[in-house]
Amino acid sequence: MRRAISVLGIGILSLWASVPSFAGMQNDLKDCAAANRTQSAGACTRILASGRLPKKQYYIAYFNRGWSHRNADDNAKALADFNRAAKYHPGYSRTYASRALVHNDLGNLEEAVRDLDRAIALNSADWSAFFSRAVILRKLSRREDALTDLDRSAQLKKDEAKVGILRGLVLAELGRFDAAHRQVQDLASTKASKAEVSYVRGVLDLREGNLSNALAHSNTAIDLEPTFTAAYALKGEIMEARGDNAAAKIAYERALSAPPRLLDGKQAKLTAQERVASLTGRLPSGTTAMQNKPSVSDGPLGCRRYIPGASLTIAVACD
């Protein structure tokens, strides 16, 4: 979700550059509009401190500076600037959508949902706001609501790959396997990452109990994207389901060493950390990875297997 919402474009900021009072500040105007530049935050600060900026445009500088701070992983400063942007222009939907992403990073999921509710109320045609809310609702285990948002997002932005990827995962997690398979097939007509498609296939196969296929797809995802944290964690879950704890531990450790920048990366790291601790007998106090063990009613354990990392019991071939 790092780029679900982009900064305000130079088109608005270039209006300032044409004003005589901004003589000598053209570079700052350009840099403030480019939040990916390291000098962006400083440029926005100088513009705000110059006394030349009309108050009705303060929100632009605060919004862009907020994104500059977020890109630098300084969420505290980003949150403060998005708060200021909302104060100066309460009706700008992208401020709330952007602030929601910061709340998500900070773990304030309910706050994030509330901000996205407001963003959508202000602009119900913003597909990315529906998508971002779906991401967070999935984290909150509100998968039916997430699916509703993904359907709306897909209506607004047809053939958007990341919407289809997340929709496939949510359908698999809901146990709607036929619909999930159809979604995966539909991804062929999009620009979806082949590694992410393989990951979704692996998750779907694991939940259906097709461990050999799941392993093949997780390996394909890793081959295509060697730093795919979630694919390594998925492989760990598959190896646990197969009873190979040594191989599972290796896969989880690879997940821990990879950067969490790709799909499901942060959650995969948490899963891997818990599973390595459990497999090595060093489960931290308060860890709940094993609390949802299968009950007797789930059937013979020879035909069903519990996967702690996914909190999932699957049917497997009986020995």
Give the span between the Cα atoms of 305 and 258, in whole angstroms: 28
Of 199, 200, 198, whose CA–CA distance to 171 is shortest? 200
Give the span between the Cα atoms of 262 and 65, in whole angstroms: 25
Residues 265, 164, 182, 266, Cα dihedral to 10°: 10
Give the span between the Cα atoms of 221 and 200, in whole angstroms: 9
State pTM to two decimals: 0.83
* pLDDT of res. 144: 98
Give the span between the Cα atoms of 213 and 5, in whole angstroms: 35
Of 308, 313, 222, whose CA–CA distance to 271 is shortest? 308
* pLDDT of res. 25: 79
Give the span between the Cα atoms of 166 and 200, in whole angstroms: 8
- From first CA to last CA, the distance across the chain in angstroms is 43
DSSP letter string, 66-108: HHHHHHTT-HHHHHHHHHHHHHH-TT-HHHHHHHHHHHHHHT-
* pLDDT of res. 246: 96
**What is the DSSP-derived secondary structure letter of residue 9?**
P
Task: Report residue 156 as tokens.
Answer: 């607004």
Of 23, 19, 2, whose CA–CA distance to 72 is shortest? 2
Task: Report residue 310 as tokens.
Answer: 């996914």
Cβ atoms within 10 Å, residue 96: 25
Mean pLDDT by 10 residues, the chain (319 residues): 45 43 75 88 93 90 95 96 98 97 96 98 97 97 98 96 97 98 93 96 97 98 98 97 96 95 93 94 47 35 53 55
Q: Quick check: 233 and 252 in contact, CB under 8 A?
A: yes
Instruction: Give, in words, the CATH class of 193-282.
Output: mainly alpha
Cβ atoms within 10 Å, residue 175: 11
* pLDDT of res. 261: 85
Tokens 């619909």 belong to residue = 179
Provide CB contacts within 8 A for 219, sequence distance 6+: 235
Give the span between the Cα atoms of 255 and 249, in whole angstroms: 10
* pLDDT of res. 53: 87
* pLDDT of res. 78: 98
DSSP letter string, 262-278: STTHHHHHHHHHHHHHH
* pLDDT of res. 316: 55
